[in-house]
Amino acid sequence: MKKSLSICLLFACGIFSVLAQPASEKAPLATVSKAGYTSVKNQANTGTCWSFSTTSLVESQTMKGGLGEFDLSEMYTVRNIYTEKAKNYILRQGMAQFGPGGLGHDVIRAIATYGAVPESVYSGLPLGQKNHDHSKLDTQLKTYLDSLLKVRPIPSDWMKGFEAILDEHLGKAPATFTYNEKPYTPKTFASDVLHFKADDYVNITSFSHHPFYTSFILEAPDNFANGSYYNVPLDEMIRLTERAAEQGYSIMWDADVSNACFRQKQGYALQWKDGKAPASITPDDEEMKYDQQLRQTLYENLTTQDDHLMHLVGLEKSPGGKKFFLVKNSWGDSGPFNGFIHVSEAYFAINTVSLVVPKAAIEKSLLTKLGIR
């Protein structure tokens, strides 16, 4: 995941200046529907948006299912995925991605495999530290793994050294804990309290270099686990998202945000027609037209990249009738909308890389086309 938002998306949005960003007019957006969601979190100096966004989705699903509101540990999942990445990196002899990034399906798989714990049980913050900072952690983990690969055979107990680094920076992971005066393991907490099932979530994307209504391994650097995504036409992906929001469901949204059109500081993401944000941003600004071919071109020429994952929690309309998605970010309470950003349909259509969608939100006819029961 790229951390800088100053990279230019020259083809689609023109040149971006961080020195003089236009102001936004707080024109009212009418709420069409909104899912339940937990408070905005801050991933701070980490590349773990994939865990924050998808954990937020799972929290919303517990609310949707009447199970209550939970504050789940993002870092428990991050720790478990780090161990998977390490094993993959070693077996591939360093010829694989190893870093802080990930995708939404990693969280779903991690909870199903390792369970989940409340934030109060495992914050991933060393004693006295208030904000996450993985700059040293990421460097130490990579250095350790690369040092192992210089020797053959590598020590059979190499994972002990890797876990020691995780313990130092994130704390020891709990094997058991007490929640509401009852004992749990992470796996029993996920199954008995959260009622979590991996099959309740579906990975969706829309690219024409693979057949529609089939699944394929998404070609993204952070897809270290070779996760598969169901491929649907662009108009169906948009409709699927709108329909889910209309029913009070939320979605994990993976998108390119390192472009001039994503304006967290102004609270809006629009695909301006002339490639430049106006001096004063309003939701009804004119936007460029989109289609499947434009989306494909931008992905294949590496303009659209897997930058950042967020949590889409609502559907809105502008005064002029344009559709917007309400998106919960994980950058703290930044921007005029306290951590939320309003994303236009055009921006969503062009810049979306992948989605994780609750299966219950998908029309049965589409599930049938995809071969999902």
pLDDT digits (tens, 9 = 90+) for 270-319: 999 876 778 889 999 999 999 999 999 999 999 999 999 999 999 999 99
Boundaries of every domain in the chain:
10-370
pLDDT of residue 168: 96
Q: Partners of 202 in the beta sheet?
A: 357
Asked if 185 contacts 175 with a C-beta cutoff of 8 angstroms, the reply is yes
Q: What share of the chain is helix, strand, coil (3-state, %, to 5)?
A: 35, 20, 45
> Is the pLDDT score of 10 beyond 80?
no
- The reported pLDDT for the residue numbered 183 is 98
Average of per-residue pLDDT across 211-239 = 97
Query: How do residues 128-171 score in pLDDT, each as one tens digit?
Result: 889 999 999 999 999 999 999 999 999 999 999 999 999 999 99
What would the mean pLDDT of 173-187 be, rounded to a whole number?
98
Contact 285, 278 (CB under 8 A): yes
C-alpha 38/C-alpha 55 separation (Å) is 10
Question: Both tokens of residue 185?
Answer: 């393991």
Average model confidence (pLDDT) for the chain?
Answer: 93
- Examine residue 153 and say whether the peptide bond preceding it is cis (omega within 30 degrees of 0): yes
E strands of 238-321, at which residues?
251-255, 262-263, 268-269, 280-281, 308-317
Under a CB-based contact definition with an 8 Å cutoff, are residues 339 and 32 in contact? Answer: no
DSSP strand pairing (352-358 vs 251-255): antiparallel
Q: For residue 25, is pLDDT > 70?
A: no
Rounded to an integer, what distance in angstroms lies between the CA atom of residue 104 and that of residue 274?
33
Dihedral angle sign, alpha carbons of residues 106, 57, 246, 29: negative
Question: Residue 7 pLDDT more than 60?
Answer: no
pLDDT at 220 over 80: yes
Question: Distance between CA atoms of 253 and 271, rounded to whole angstroms?
Answer: 17
Alpha carbon 351 to its chain centroid, in Å, reads 13
| Residue 26 confidence (pLDDT) | 61
Cis peptide leading into residue 155 (ω within 30°): no
- Residue found under tokens 């005064």: 319
Task: Output the DSSP codes for 223-258.
Answer: -TT--EEEE--HHHHHHHHHHHHHTT--EEEEE--S
pLDDT score for 276: 75
The 10s digit of each residue's pLDDT in 75-129 is: 999 999 999 999 999 999 999 999 999 999 999 999 999 999 999 999 999 878 8
pLDDT at 277: 78
Distance CA 243, CA 245 (A): 5
CB atoms within 10 A of CB 277: 23
pLDDT band at 16 (very low <50, low <70, confident <90, very high): very low
Residues belonging to the chain = 373
Q: Answer yes or no: is pLDDT of 11 > 80.
A: no
Which run of H or of E encompasses 179? strand 177-179
User: Which pLDDT value is given to residue 127?
Assistant: 78
CB distance 27 to 319 below 8 Å: yes
Topology adopted by domain 10-370: Cathepsin B; Chain A (3.90.70)
pLDDT of 8 > 50? The answer is no
